Amino acid sequence: MAAQAILPSNPHDPTGQDRRERGAINDFDRRLAKVRALYIGLLGRIPYNVVTVNAEVYQYQLTPEMLQMQLDDVGAQVDRILLEYDGRDLWFTEAYVQPAYQQGTAQQLANLSVQSTAYAASRPTLDALLTSRPYQTRLAFLKLRLQGSLQGFTAGVRTNMSQILSDGLAAGKGVRDVARQLTEQTGIESRKALRIARTEIPGALRAARMAEADQAKTDLGILTKEMHMSALSPVTRPHHRARHAHLYTTQEQREWWDSGGNRYNCKCSTVSILVDEKGNPLTPGIIDRAKAMLAKNPPPAQKV
């Protein structure tokens, strides 16, 4: 009889990435504060006259061509702030996403090793797994996708902040009014960054676990299914909670996370369970243990 799979220790945060997510969010906020300061600093350097007819109007002494040149310069600085490379990788990848991916791989190594002696023999150490070609290939694709995602976010920040500044100058808005709008937009960009952190970091851990499960099947013929582990907290979406302790294939899990916005701000995870050729768990008791977590962490009472 195979040993049972390893369940997450924290039912409210089964990926265990809350602290890492908060670190990334704080990092984003620090960088966005610098971005805001750049645009407000540019605004403060533009000379203007104030005229009053029916209302107070600011006349900025700057041609569109000169403004565009200065916006391009600020935009280049924004790229350096939000797309900073730490060594060869983006700061967000290097400091937050790659460690989560590696942690997920380490968790899966431990999880499958206790269930399968064949798997344990094939992956004697974590270093051997992390330096293997399949792992390095998966990690390279993850980095490439994250680079495109963060470049898109950064381009959006530049566009939105530049448009607010340009429109404010063209409309003759006051300096304080334009600065306030820039600050408000920074808050909007911060919320977007929060979603990136809360999506990509736990998503990387989940992806690593499932990818290694697939690799174990390819290399060794080990059959597994993914037991969904919902984040059993008061804010968990009901349809996420409803999947808890149910078994799915890795493909079914990926399709579910890719549909209906399920992957965004999701703290759920999965645990790979060894199954027979019919898809039945080799250690059925693990399902009961996972179901018991539901009773210990009930959903919030419905308001009447």
Longest dimension (CA), the chain: 87
**pLDDT at position 96, please?**
97
Measured CA distances, 278 to 214, 247, 274, 282 (Å): 17, 12, 11, 11
In angstroms, the CA 207 to CA 162 distance is: 36
- What residue segments make up the domains of the chain, in order of their start? 18-220
Which pair of structure tokens corresponds to residue 116? Answer: 């399968």
pLDDT tens, the chain, 304 aa long: 568 999 999 999 999 999 999 999 999 999 999 999 999 999 999 999 999 877 789 999 999 999 999 999 999 999 999 999 876 789 999 999 999 999 999 999 999 999 999 999 999 999 999 999 999 999 999 999 999 999 999 999 999 999 999 999 999 999 999 999 999 999 999 999 999 999 999 999 999 999 999 999 999 999 999 999 999 999 999 999 999 999 999 999 999 999 999 999 999 999 999 999 999 999 999 999 999 999 899 888 765 5
**pLDDT at position 2, please?**
67
**pLDDT at position 248, please?**
98
**pLDDT at position 85, please?**
84
**pLDDT at position 226, please?**
98
Which pair of structure tokens corresponds to residue 84? Answer: 């900073």
Which residue, 29, 22, 39, 76, is CA-closest to 188?
29
Q: Residues 28, 193: contact at Cβ < 8 Å?
A: yes
**pLDDT at position 202, please?**
98
Q: Estimate to the nearest angstrom the gap between the alpha carbon of 192 and the chain centroid.
A: 11
Place of tokens 């809350």: 18
> Helices (DSSP H) in the chain: which residue ranges?
18-44, 64-82, 91-92, 98-115, 117-122, 126-130, 133-170, 175-220, 238-241, 250-257, 285-296
**pLDDT at position 302, please?**
65
Q: What is the pTM of this model?
A: 0.94
Q: Which residues pair with 225 in a beta bridge?
A: 273
Measured CA distances, 73 to 41, 199, 213, 262 (Å): 12, 31, 47, 38
